[in-house]
Structure 1
């Protein structure tokens, strides 16, 4: 956390989690703001404030058991609403589809690689893993897709930062794990990845690779500062994926994946997937067509999700983790 000359208040206080990745993202936002606004480039004009969230505090249980949405954002949102910070920098895949009252998502920075990375010290891919091999993952979305494609594998809860997960691999706790390529890239650790996974094999989390910045809706000065940081192409893609998630009412208990990509000028392809937590009965769909703005992308995502809701029918609660089946996780 930075300090200010003569105890003067910084012009902008940036809230973030304290993980190495979260701090790297907060520093990237700070540097982009300084580059866009000379008044923010002055010494101590900005301060990075680290806030511990529920998801950071509870490390001994799967995320799906801790509770609802906002596990990595709620305390930061509270600090923002209270005026303790001015903006918050988030990994967008952690951000609930409905923001806290009084907050707005003002900017999405240019999106990084949305793919997942397969990581193992002994195997090159999932196809190389023997029957009964153990995969460590804290993500139901990843776990359900693994179990759907590779039912002969076992998935265990695997939480902690990058260094903790790599240590667990070295200790033989698991044979392989997965992390987001975006995070590895931002930490200059892409070499850790055994191989990036094709999205046809592992569809990413909604908004994976995207960093968003929220602020108070009535703070016009800060909103003006943030506007140059918004990447329209990334924002539109994320809006489509989040609309897909919103219709499905996704939470940490819901294995949902989606990815929107530009296939040409003004042309978008959106793929979406839901899977039961135990890997059974995957339901996928896709949409392609012209998308001119966020409203059109959101309509595409909502329509794709509506199809899956209809196809799941009475079984939809099972996809949301509300019905417990034997086996799997």
Structure 2
């Protein structure tokens, strides 16, 4: 149990309305209530632009704050005190006046293969040529095209239940989802295969929750402290620094993997072309306290190997529609 101020207060938590977002936000609410029983924690839900536009591929909408902007406006207007995000959805450059106040302990950040019943005896590498794989992520698309050029890929949007229904109805042979999302929703039994990092590096921040709040709101920052997981935070700071240095939003084919052992942080990063024909990948290690610098160093390494040219072509392609 922690104490913040002599006066009990009401803390307003902003959340998206999707089932996964609410599961994550209610978990945060429950943890905070345990640590601060004298405070009241209220959940305020809102729909973001990314929740409303479901008939256009994410990459074509072109807004890096698709799933966060409305929540951020709520905090800046003082309608809410903090917002819970899947950290992978939170842009690496935050609006003036807001900060990433806390990073929670990470679930498995890997990608998962979920298959239609007719392919239950198959793995990603044994799916027949021409199998239709659903994903809305350019990162997954580019890496899987690189490794499995014989597979077909088709955009899929909607919340997790909607995507699973589209798969089960036969619109796809398989879909790719985050292991963490399936686990948090109690659907781990749908994970047919955890895709190894050698095949698909995960999204920056995937599997962790990022709690955003107002800069200088020391009372809220103090309230968030018990939920901070330092190892996850260091790993995610390195990943976010790498992404920020390459000026990539969440809708570009940039993948990462990070580990910490004996205070040594190792970051792997990848940039790929949309057709999967070009892929550059490298690794940088250093002390965990130098997480941001490790990310910058890795970005520079990949840039020297042609990553910037790949990204410039992708941005031009997306803008052309």
Task: Please classify the TM superposition score into its range, dividing by the shorter chain length.
Answer: over 0.9
- State the distance in 1 between where 2:103 and 2:134 align: 30
Q: Is the 8 A contact 1:204 1:259 kept in 2?
A: yes
Stretch deviating more after TM superposition (249-258 or 204-213): 249-258
Question: Quick check: 1:310 aligned with 2:304?
Answer: yes
Q: CA deviation at 1:158?
A: 0.4
Distance 1:98 1:78 in 2: 15
1:37 aligns with 2:31: no
Matched, 1:65 2:60: yes
Instruction: Give the 5 Å matches for 1:1-329.
Output: 11-40=10-39, 45-121=40-116, 122-123=118-119, 124-262=122-260, 264-291=261-288, 293=289, 296-312=290-306, 315-318=309-312, 320-323=314-317
CA contact (8 A) 1:274 1:319 kept: no
Quote the Cα distance in structure 1 between the aligned partners of 2:70 and 2:154.
28
Equivalent pairs counted in the alignment come to 309
Which consecutive residues of structure 2, in runs of 5 or more, have no partner in the other structure?
A: 1-7
CA, structure 1 residues 314+15, in 2 after alignment: closer, same or farther (shift >3 Å)? closer
Q: CA deviation at 1:314?
A: 6.6
Q: What is the root-mean-square deviation of aligned Cα atoms in Å? A: 1.7
1:220, CA displacement in angstroms?
1.8
- Give the drift of 1:323: 3.9
TM-score (norm 2): 0.92
Counterparts of 1:239 and 1:313, CA distance in 2: 21
In 2, Cα distance between equivalents of 1:290 and 1:155: 39
Cα distance change of structure 1 residues 322 and 313 upon mapping to structure 2, 3 Å threshold: same
Deviation at 1:75, TM superposition (A): 0.8
Q: Secondary structure at the match of 1:311?
A: coil
Equivalents in 2 of 1:271, 1:26: separation in Å?
30
8 A Cα contact 2:204 2:256, kept in partner: yes
Q: How far apart are 1:313 and its partner, in Å?
A: 6.5
**Rounded Cα–Cα distance in structure 2 between residues aligned with 1:290 and 1:154:** 41
Distance 1:119 1:287 in 2: 32
Task: Sort the Cα spacing of 1:89 and 1:305 in 2 relative to 1 into closer, same or farther, 3 A.
Answer: same
C-alpha contact 2:91 2:250 (8 A) present in aligned 1: no
Alignment partners' CA distance in 1, 2:263 and 2:300: 23
Contact 1:260 1:270 in 2 (8 A): yes
Residues 10 and 172 of structure 1: CA distance in aligned 2, closer, same or farther (over 3 Å): farther
Q: 1:316 Cα deviation (Å)?
A: 3.6
- Secondary structure (helix, strand or coil) at the match of 1:38 reads coil
Instruction: For residue 39 of structure 1, give the secondary structure of its aligned residue in structure 2.
Output: coil
Matched-pair contact (CA < 8 Å) for 2:100–2:211: yes
CA deviation vs aligned residue, 1:205-253 (integer Å, no higher than 9, x gap): 0110010101111322111111121111110000000011001111244
Residues 272 and 279 in structure 2, CA contact (< 8 A), matched pair in contact too:
yes
Q: Give per-residue Cα distances to partners, 1:147-173, cap 9 Å, x unaligned.
A: 111111111110111221111112221
Runs of 4+, deviation exceeding 6 Å? none
Structure 1 counterpart SS, 2:284: strand
